Amino acid sequence: MKFKLLLSLLFVFASINLFAQAQHSTEIGVETDNDSYLLRGSDRYYTDGIYFYYRHALSTDGNDNLKNKVLGFEFGQKIFNPQAGSVADIYGVDHADLVDRPFATYLYVGSTLNLLYANESNLKLSAQLGIVGPDAFGKQVQDWVHKTFGFYHPSGWEYQIKNDPEINLSAEYNRLLARTTGVDISFSSYGNLGNGFTGAGLGFLLRLGNFNQLFNSVSTQSTASQGNKITPLHKHELFFYYKPLINYVAYDATIQGGLLETHHEAGSQEITLDKEPFIFSNQLGVDFTTNRFTFDVAAIVHTRDTKEMIRSTHQWGAITGMYRFK
* Amino acid letter, residue 152: Y
* CB contact at 8 A, 269 and 286: no
Give 230-285 pLDDT, tens digit per residue: 888 999 999 999 999 999 999 999 999 988 766 555 456 889 999 999 999 999 99
- Cα distance between the two ends of the chain: 36
Predicted local distance difference test score (pLDDT) of residue 10: 40
Beta bridge partners of 242: 206, 284
Closest among 112, 107, 306 to 196, alpha carbons compared: 107
Predicted local distance difference test score (pLDDT) of residue 123: 98
Predicted local distance difference test score (pLDDT) of residue 25: 92
- Cα separation, 91 vs 45, in Å, equals 23
* CB contact at 8 A, 132 and 106: yes
* CB contact at 8 A, 271 and 240: no
Predicted local distance difference test score (pLDDT) of residue 98: 84
Closest among 251, 252, 254, 273 to 264, alpha carbons compared: 273
Predicted local distance difference test score (pLDDT) of residue 190: 98
Predicted local distance difference test score (pLDDT) of residue 268: 67
Q: Name the 3-class secondary structure at 3.
A: helix
Domain ranges of the chain: 25-325
Topology of the domain covering 25-325: Lipocalin (2.40.128)
The pTM for the full model equals 0.89
- Cα separation, 304 vs 101, in Å, equals 9
- Cα separation, 82 vs 314, in Å, equals 11
**Residue ranges for the chain with pLDDT beneath 50:** 1-22, 90-91, 266
